[in-house]
A and B are shown apart, each in its own frame.
Chain A
Amino acid sequence: MNLSLALWLTQDAVVNGAVYALLALALIVVYTVTRVIFVPQGEFISFAALSLATLQNGKVPGTVHLLIATGLVVAVLDGWRMAKTRDFSRLPRLVLFNIALPLAVAALAWWSASRPTDVWLQVLVTLGIVIPFGSMIYRLAYQPLASASILVLLIVSVAVHYMMVGLGLVFFGGEGLRASIFPGFNFDVGILTISLQSIGIVLSSVVLMVVLWLYFGYTVYGKALRATAMNRIGSRLVGISTEFSGKLSFTLAALIGAISGILIAPITTVYYDTGFLIALKGFVGAIIGGMGSYPIAAVGSLLVGFLESYSSFWASSFKESIIFTLIIPVLLWRSLGKHRIEEEEEE
């Protein structure tokens, strides 16, 4: 292997690793706050990338219809609950977020489909489509089960994953799509050719991580989410409701998924089920971080990126086996450091 190849593989590794690190962050936030192992995280990626590509093809993606329908279901369910308790103080919010917002996004999407060259509008519409799904999915699938065991929540996650992958296939078909955001421009640094796209990805990931770091460290709502992850009872006692933190963490997950999807759309052909495999690698990163430590998970995600990139060169057909076997020594290392700490959950 020569130096330029090594550098090229490294570039690949860093680009992928940056995306995995973002996903690992989303998975950790959702898990620590709600105890949900969020398997469908990858579907946000697919939905975003494919919606973007569809808009660029001048069509309105099916995810828009799904957004309107899901919003309606939420509005009906919560409206029913309000009618039963006769407390309509939150009705305007409900209508705004679950009916007005999806309709506005749909209008924008319809307009955007007629302007195939307006990339930033497409990105905006894509974000507008995917992000609201976060809190809607939490509301419909998880909120009624907030007190259930981790196993039940995990099973629900898998079922939601099935639904979303199935819908992805319905909306986008089995063919892969590719979008373009940054102009395809390469430049040479010494012997290495760097594409503008890969710089865009790494830069965007870093910016997003810094923004999230500021959010969690310096805003009341970010702190409230961290508080929920640390101490569920304590956070309820200061008035942070399970519903609030659940919806907020899922919204963040959707945001991260949407941005990841937009970032990878130009560099790889995305199929309806591509997101799942990408998110699984984010999982590997998150597991390395013990589903709790974000910095370790970020390093772990980079490690996954390197392993993937180099093993695809040396042993491409065993690439996936190698990456997923990597978890086992990591688990071993984690288990050695742990002495008889057993979470005694009440039945």
Chain B
Amino acid sequence: MSATLEVEKLAVSYDKVEALHGASLRVDKGSIVTVIGPNGAGKTTMLAAMMGLLPSRGAIVYGGRDISMMPVEARVDEGLCLVPERRELFSEMSVEDNLLLGAFSRIRRGAGKIDGDIEEIFTRFPRLKERRRQLAGTLSGGERQMLALGRALMAKPQLLMLDEPSLGLAPRIVRDIFHVIASLRSSGVSILLVEQNARAALQVADYGYVLELGEVVLEGPAASLVTNPRVAETYLGLAGAAD
């Protein structure tokens, strides 16, 4: 299978401190890859660097081309999209306007009508349709995550990067969100999923990486990681006691 994204020895420093020490990973076209690890392992840093929000060293090869020098906006034009941990919605704008701006990069490059695309998002997330005129800041946590996902999909990304989509959500909502993520695979979008909820992440993913203290310490097909004793012990937390 051809790779959508290949990251080689990615390193990121804040001030003089290195937070990510040469992590390498690969996302195949149409696959879901997850990166799991404890708080402070460098997961969010890694996504921010891939998106261009943080300067980094190493190669980020996307669609056969090194994009590590591109600004964020150019990466969006190329089909990269990040749903950050804090969602970063436009809180004083309506749900509909948030979705509209999700397509900004396409509109600027001359996309015509996008009303149909907004309707498509509404079919995927009926809740958002009910709230289309409501301000994004007034939405519940689950709805905000749906809007963040919807806004990202409006850009018609080829690689969608999700940072902790389950954060702070009730189990039922988490389930919904993960179903959406799984369903995106069939539409050909490649997904890089960063999660604390390791079990849920490994259930939807094809392949997984374990990041610890800024380094990839383990990788493998998701199914094999779930049964890996080290993962079970550390990242599935209480698993040992539960059984």
Contacts and interface: CB of A to CB of B under 8 A. Distances in A.
B188 to A, nearest CB: 21
A237 B90 contact: no
A219 B51 CA distance: 27
Interface string B90-133: 11110001001111110110000000000000000000000000
A345 to B, nearest CB: 15
A223 B73 contact: no
Contacts of A237: 51, 72, 76, 81-82, 84, 88, 152
Interface in A242-267: 244
Contact of B105 (A223, A230, A231, A238): A238
Nearest to A230: B90
Contact of A241 (B73, B89, B92): B73
Contacts of B73: 236, 239-241, 244
A109 B189 CA distance: 54
Interface in A210-240: 220, 223-224, 226-227, 230-231, 233-240
Interface in B153-189: 154-155
A215 to B, nearest CB: 14
Contacts, number: 68
B104 A230 contact: no
Contact of B104 (A226, A231, A240): A240
B84 A233 contact: yes
A239 B92 contact: no
Interface string B9-50: 000000000000000000000000000000000000000000
Contact of A234 (B89, B97, B105, B108): B89
A238 B101 contact: yes
Contacts of B92: 226, 230
Interface residues of B, number: 30
B34 to A, nearest CB: 21
Residues of A contacting B: mostly: helix
B3 to A, nearest CB: 23
A227 B90 CA distance: 6
Contacts of A231: 88-91
Contacts of A227: 90, 93, 101
Contacts of B104: 220, 224, 238-240
B77 interface: yes
Interface string A10-47: 00000000000000000000000000000000000000
Interface of B: 51, 53, 71-73, 76-77, 81-82, 84, 87-93, 97, 100-105, 107-108, 151-152, 154-155
Q: Which 5 A-B pairs have the closest CB atoms?
A: A239-B105, A234-B88, A239-B76, A241-B73, A236-B72
Interface of A: 220, 223-224, 226-227, 230-231, 233-241, 244
